[in-house]
Structure formats: structure tokens, C-alpha cells
Structure 1
Amino acid sequence: MIKMNVLACRLAYSLAMTLPMASVASPNNVANLESIFTNTDVPRVFSGVVIIAKGNDITFSYTSASQSASSDSTALAFTLQTPFVTASLSKQMTAALVMREVDQGRIDLDAPITQYLERLKGKWDAVITVRQLLNHLSGIVAMDKPLKTVPGDVFAYSNTGYNLLGELVATTSGKNYETLASDMFEYCGMDNTNPSSNTHNALRYHEKSPGELVAITKDLPARAAPSAGIISTAEDLVAWNQCLHNSELISAKSHVQMVTKAATRKHRWGALGYGFGLQLSDNTAVQEWSHSGYVLGYISTLSYYPKSDTSMILLENISWYPKDMTRVFYYHDQLRNQLLKSLK
């Protein structure tokens, strides 16, 4: 176990002293899932919420505790309704908003983005399409930098591209992004999900260097909501998977496009396909549509397994030292590995 400073030690102590909530049911035939989070021989502590669900029914859940940065070191218990910033899980929600506009005939995926965002005319010496923003083939890395790659050439992850998509749907719909997203979440029955950073959310920390935790007090700017700033709960994200994949939120044609491989992304899980805001894995015996997220103060993973209608959600309130992503997503990957074995 790593050596931790005083704040981290208090956090670890609070986690150990807080009774977790866990439940296991038979539908997924998962065993020993709780031991993943209670094992003491691990590279770091777990601080967050976990859900595995079959459809809308939660078959496994585990919650830990958040350590207050106040002098009394109060431990605050998480629940399945605790709000977290979902980080890059926001991208599939923005992609769905784009596809809703496509379904209304207001967006053509293969049209240049300058058709909808006139302010970008002449910005880059290349034609960039809406589709290329969705599947990270635009080459955009930042508004004030040249393109990293030729549009349509290779996968180049772009938060800026998704923030532009948020601006684009606001232009085509005549509504601001927050209103569009809130309307979609209401349709999906996601009562505790919000695109506004003003929503009260979990206390959060960043591991500045191994063992050194610092409290994060600054919220993401509103302009980052389409790529990384949507706030939600583990329970609401179960509803999101059902709404996106098993409802009329978007047309069947639009859904197929979201889950069709358009690019390849290098990942610690191996090479993954990428659709619209979704990672696509067919390297195992189990089809998986997923995404993970990392912003200061939060990490997240959301996976959906369509054949068994199974969801896996992990939300944490600490962004661990980013030089070792295997350690950062240790619990996320351990749970995923165990779940994949049970779903084969």
C-alpha cells in the first residue's frame, strides 16, 4: 500500500470505519464482488459508489465514504443518489442530443461544422464534419491550436470537439445546452442529473503526487458541460443506459450509428472501437459499450452489455495520480474483469 499523507490517512481510516452497503443477487451470477473493494492488499483505497444492474434492477451495489476536508474530519457516507461529476461520460449524453437533432432533420452528420457554427469559418484550413467531432476524427485539440491530424484520418481524443457539439445543438435547436440536456434527462426519468456545475455534488480530491491528496473546490466551467461536466448519480446512470439503449430517446437508425465502430482507440483494455461518445469492445466474448472519465476531483466508468441488459457504474470523488492509469482505474477494471467472466 502506498504511503499517504495525513489527509489521505484520515480518508483511508474513514473508509475502513464506515460500513459499506453491498448486495448481490443471482441474475448475473457474480461472486465475491464485495471482496474487490474490501481486500486490504490493494494499490489504493476506494472512495465512491458502485452499481451493477440487470435492466432497472440493481443486483449489486457498494458505497464507501467521502472524507471531509474540515478540521473535524467528518466522514460523509455516499448513497446511490449522491451526485458526482461524470467527467467524459457526458460525451455520450451530448452525442445523444446531436442524434436527437439529426432525427428532427436539423443536423446532417456529414455537413461541415461551419454550416452550423459560422464563427468557425476560416478557423482551420480543412473541412471538419459533425460526424468527425462525434468520433474524435476531427483533429481538433484546442481552439487556439492547429489541427493535430488531418480530419477523418486517425483517432485524436478531443474535449474541445464535444464542447463544440454542445454549441452546435444549441444553434440548431434554438435552445441552450442546459435546457436541451435537462429536457432529455427529464424524459429519461433522471431526476438527479444536471448539466449545471452549480449543483451540489460530492466532496472531491486530487492526488497531486503519490500519497498527496488536495481538496478541489473549483467547479468545471459551464462551457465544459458537453464534454465532461454533467453531474449525475449512480442510480440515474442505470436509468440513462436504459433510456439510451432501450427507449425511443433516439431513432433506431441513430442508435445504430452511435454503437457502430468509426475509429479505433488505444486503451489499457486493448484496442477499442469508438462510435459516438461510446467505446465499443468486441475483443471478448461479451459485447460492451462503455466509457470512462477523469477530471480533477472525479473518475468514472459506465459500461453496458446489451445481450444481458447489464449495466456497470463506478463513480469516485478522487482523481488519482494520473501517471498510472492502471492504478487510477484499479477497482473499475477489477470489477469489469469479474463481471465479464460471469457474463460469458
Structure 2
Amino acid sequence: MAAPRGRIAVLVALMALLGATAMASTNPASGRFDIPREGFAPASTMLRETTPEQAGLDPAPITATAQHLSDWTRPNAVEGHPLFAGAVAMLVHDGKIVATHATGSAVRYADGSGTELPREQQVPMRPDTIFDLASVTKLFTSIAVLQLVERDQVELDAPVARYLPEFGVNGKAAITVRQLLTHTSGLEPFLPLWRDWPDKASRISAVMRVRPQSPPGTDYTYSDLNLITLGVLVERLTGSSLDAVIAARITGPLGMADTGFNPPAHKVPRIAATEFQTEPERGMLRGEVHDENAWSLGGVAGHAGIFSTASDLAVLGQALLNGGAYAGERILSEQSVRAMLTNHNDRFPGDAHGLGFELDQIWYMGGLTSPRTAGHTGYTGTSLVIDPLSGSIAILLTNRVHPTRSWGSVNPARQAWATGLSRALAVPPARGPHAWSSVIGDSEVATLTTPALTVSDRYTSARFHAFVDSEPTDPLVVEASTDEGRTWRTLEVRVRGRGSPDKTVNSLSGTGHRSWWSARVMVPRGQKVTLRWRFTTDSSDTGRGVCIDAIRIADTERVLLDAERHPETIITDGFALSNG
């Protein structure tokens, strides 16, 4: 007897789900850090919640980092106050939401001095808390501009004055749309529009008439004025307000129901408070944009003003990983997404920038950093990191300016959250079942040390494999001692592998290549020689770290040490034997 039509539909849906799950589980790059992806995820990839283990991740680094976030909300976390009042953090890998962590308070203080509200008046963070994104707004404005490019309404290398004639004064006639998107226009970072001009019209006019501080294209200067101008451009060419354009063309199609400017009153109970402002005299802000210039422009501006949740931002991030599409809706073409995530600032090392997106910034991208890793931060304590190489997203939303902006930067937390995901992704050993992985943070040293080896006059070398993900100021070096460790000298290393130096070097570092390197050093001659692998981090900006595997020291006739077979011969400090 034939099955009822409804049952067939259920069976078909179940088979499709099982098929999708099987495909995800057989993806060789899933759960891996050492297999960089090329291209985009399937446009059909949808977000769904799961556990780190089900996504092929190690839960321990995620759990540890989530605890760090909670610790930073304690009353005496830093210099007698929390690093931030509260946070909502989310991690995504291959379309799977593997962590959502809400901690601390959305509303905690009564004034700018840090007077805590009575416990019953405080509002705890929850996963759907809404945050003022501050400069993360710039990404939405940039997407709106790229949509105009796709519609042939804007050319990236056309002068902005073609679309906004009033902008082309005081030396700005040659500034292009691309230069605004990449912060190479030469405009100064900021004007106190709210203070020095009386109304919205005069404030916009001030931006249009401002004189560049340097010739366009000659340097990189991050400037809110660039995106304020682009917001005006979007409005001029569409004939609609910026908030209406973003709602109709980005957040609406993507189903980002909690994302937008000037949130309605009924959402205020879910909104995290920001600063107690005295200049201008606005009091404790909640549900009203924190940025003074955006506030003075009616809460809607190209550089700041959007509110959102972690889950909504995850949808935006996945849409970009999917090549511009999500849930059957396309907001950008794959070509446009590639342009957004490609560095246009080769002339300005350290300031890699796509069209709207920052690229390759370890100071908040942490262990997910690579030349293709994109993201943005917001002054209120928000950040979005999108890593196409691992198909991952790290979102950290805090209200770090609650109750005051003077309590410091949340960059350590931004970086730690992204690094926690990178360390949850596997780097299987180059050979055999185990490798040594560094487990240190900032301002620390990790070492692997051999016993003293009797080295003959014959040619002797040490060969090993190294997986290095660290900034240049966090080097891995190989050292030798002939006096039982009292003094050490650095040895030259020759390496081969994707992204490795093409010459003999004294130290190893680098991010983004995500590959094991095969390395060799010459062992100095002497009766007794001790070798040491030393990984040292400075006070900030630590990547995923270093893995070392398959250490083998031999001369032309004999093997002096084979750590792959006898790992117990190596003395470890700051490294742990791991299977990935």
C-alpha cells in the first residue's frame, strides 16, 4: 500500500537532511585548521545549532575562552572594574553554531562613575540581547554601495563628485568611491559634527565641504567621514533614506529582524545599555545610538547607528561565506563578495582593506588571522570576524562603554574569542599520532629541549616539522648549547612548504598559510650539544600558536634522537603532546 503523501514528504525531508549531514561529515576540511578552503560555501548553507563535538571541534578551547569572557565581567577584572559589563559571543563553523555564550549584564550601572544599580534593577545578558554595533555599521553601508555597483549606478573608480557634485570641492574632485571604501581618500578621521554645526543639513554640508588632510591615494587613514559620505551617496542614488535601503536590500531579504537603525520602543528591554554621556548631556544611553555624530544625524548614518544581535550578524557572515546568498535570497554576487574580501591596499602594509572590510588584523582576529580573513570592530565593544579559509565566524558583542568609555579596550577579549575557535579546529600531526602544541598566551615562553647529545665531527642535522601561526614578534627559534644550557645560540633554519620563507632564516613566524613546514638545522659540532625549540610571545596579539612534530637528529651513520618514537626524551615547558 502506498504511503500517505504527508509521510512521503517527511521521509524525503529526512533523507535530504541525512544526506546533507553525511556530506558535511565527509568534508575533509570540516573541523580542520590546516586545510585552507578555496571559493565559497554552497549558497544553500544554512545556520543550525550543534555542539562543538558534532562539528568536529575540540570543545576545550571554546569552553576555556567562554570562561575568560565571564571572568572579564567580574568587578575587579582589570584595574578595579570589569573589562566590560557583559557580552554575547557566538562561534560558527561550516554553518554550524557551535557556541553561544551570554555573560554579565546588559544594564548594570546607574551613572558614569560606575555606581552599580541594585541587583533587582540590573538586566542580565541573554543570547538575543540587542547591541549598538557602532562602526560595524560601515559594513552594511559598504554592501549597499556594492549593490549599486551591481546595478550599474556606481563605478568604483569614478570620482565621488560624479554622484555628489557638492563633494568635489576643496581638493576632493579626484577622490573615488573605491578610496572611500578603503580609507585611502585622504579625509581626516573625524569632525565633531554634533558640536560645531547646528542641524543635520549643515552637518552633512560640513562633510561634503571638508578639505583632505593628504592627497587621495597617498596614505591610509581610517575615517568616519568616508562612510558618512557613502551613506549620503546611497541615499542620493536610490532616492530613499539609508535605513530604508538597508532594510529593503540587506536585512529584510536575509531575515535579520533585530537589525536596524533607531530600534523601536518595544525592543528596548532587550537592548544593552552603553555610556552615561555628559557631553553632550544625554544621560545613560539605551536604545539610542551611542555615536554622537550619528545621533546628531537622526540616528541614521553610514558610519554608525545600526543595532543587531549575535544571531543576526551570524546570518550576515554566513551569507558572505556563501558568496552573497542565504536562505534563497541573494544580496550580492560572488564577484562583489570577492571584491569586498580582496586587499585593495597593497601599498599600505599593515592596513589591508577590502571594500568596506578590514583584512588580516591580528589585533582582534587572533588565531583566525589570514590575508583573507575579514571583519570589523565597533567602538562600543563589538566585532565580527569572517574566516573563509576555515569557513568560520567569530562574533563578540560587548557593551564595553557602559558606563564609561574610559575603562579601556576589549581587544584582548576579541582576540581571545577568535583564537579559541582557531584552537578548537584541528591541526593533525604531520607524522604519527601526536605532535607538540604550544599552549601559551601573551608574554610567555614555550620550549622543547633535548637531552645533551654526543655529536661527532660528522655532518649532523636536526629535521622536524613545524606548523607556525604567529605574528613576526612571536618567533619560533631553534637554539643550541654546548655548555649544559648556560648559554644558547640561535641556529639557522631552512624550511619548505606552502607559505614558508624562501631563504634560510633565524626564526619562524607567519599567519595565513596554515601549512606544516618541513625544516632542517645544522647541529654544531662538539662533544655534548643540547638543542632547544623556543617559542616566545610578546605582550599582545597572539595567533593560534606553534606545533612541532617528528624531531629527528642524525649524522651520516646513526640516529642520535628520534622523538617521534621516543617523545619522552624531550623536556617540555609550555608545549603539550596532542593529536591535533
Alignment of 1:283-322 (within 5 A): 286=370, 287-294=372-379, 298-319=380-401
Identity of aligned residues (%): 24
Q: CA RMSD in A?
A: 2.9
* Contact 1:322/1:328, CA 8 A, preserved across alignment: no
CA–CA separation in structure 1 for the residues paired with 2:118 and 2:407: 32
C-alpha displacement of 1:99: 0.6
| Normalised TM-score (structure 1) | 0.80
State the Cα deviation string for residues 123-172 of structure 1 (Å, max 9, x = none).
43541100100000111124264312211111111111101111111212
- The one-letter amino acid of 1:308's match is S
**1:154 aligns with one of 207, 212, 219:** 219
TM score, norm. by length of structure 2: 0.49
5+ long unaligned stretches in structure 1: 1-22, 209-213
1:107 maps to 2:154: yes
| More helix by percentage | 1
Residue in 1 aligned with 2:58?
Answer: 29
Q: Which residue of 254, 261, 275 maps to 1:195?
A: 261
Residue 234 of structure 1 is aligned with which of 304, 310, 313? 310
> 2:285 maps to which residue?
216
Rounded to whole Å, the distance in 2 between the matches of 1:265 and 1:89 is: 24
Is the contact between residue 136 and residue 156 of structure 1 (CA under 8 Å) also seen in structure 2? Answer: yes
Q: Distance in 2 between matches of 1:119 and 1:238?
A: 38
Contact between 2:382 and 2:398, CA under 8 Å: does it hold in 1?
yes
Answer with 222-231 or 279-288: which moved more: 279-288
Q: Please, which of 236, 247, 253 is the counterpart of residue 182 of structure 1? A: 247
Unaligned stretches of 5+ in structure 2? 1-49, 111-116, 192-206, 278-282, 428-580
State whether residues 262 and 299 of structure 2, in contact with CA within 8 Å, keep that contact through their aligned partners in structure 1. Answer: no
Cα pair distance change 1:55/1:249, threshold 3 Å: farther
- Does the CA contact (< 8 Å) of 2:401 and 2:407 recur in 1? no
Give the CA deviation at 1:174.
Answer: 2.3
Which residue of structure 1 lines up, in the alignment, with residue 70 of structure 2? 38
Q: 1:225-257: per-residue Cα shift (whole Å, max 9, x none)?
A: 321111111110000112233113111221111
- Aligned pair 1:130/2:177, yes or no? yes
Distance 1:170 1:110, change over 3 A: same
One-letter amino acid matched to 1:133: L
Partner of 1:51: 90
Alpha-carbon contact 2:106-2:272 (below 8 Å) kept: yes
Change (3 A) 1:24 1:341: same
The answer for the alignment partner of 1:3 in structure 2 is: none
Pair 1:250 & 2:250 matched: no
- Note the alpha carbon deviations across 1:272-315, whole angstroms, 9 max, x for none: 51111211118877542111110xxx210100111332111111
Partners of 1:112 and 1:250 in 2: how far apart?
23
Aligned to 1:204: 273
Maintained 8 Å contact 1:182/1:195: no
- Specify the code of the residue in structure 1 equivalent to 2:216: P
Q: Which amino acid aligns with 1:149?
A: S
Larger C-alpha radius of gyration, 1 or 2?
Answer: 2
State how far apart, in whole Å, the 2-side matches of 1:243 and 1:116 are.
29
Structure 1 residues 38 and 265, CA, compared in 2 at 3 Å: closer, same or farther? farther
Q: 1:239 to 1:319 in 2, by over 3 A?
A: same
CA displacement at 1:337 relative to structure 2: 2.3
Q: In structure 2, the residue corresponding to 1:319 is in which secondary structure?
A: coil
Instruction: Return the letter of the residue paired with 2:219.
Output: V
- Partners of 2:149 and 2:310 lie apart in 1 by 28
Q: Secondary structure at 1:311's aligned position in 2?
A: strand
- Relative to structure 2, which stretch is displaced further, 285-294 or 103-112? 285-294
Q: Matched residue pairs, number?
A: 310
Paired AA for residue 52 in structure 2: A
Which of 106, 126, 140 is residue 79 of structure 1 equivalent to?
Answer: 126
State the one-letter code of the partner of 1:157: Y
Secondary structure of residue in 2 paired with 1:204: coil
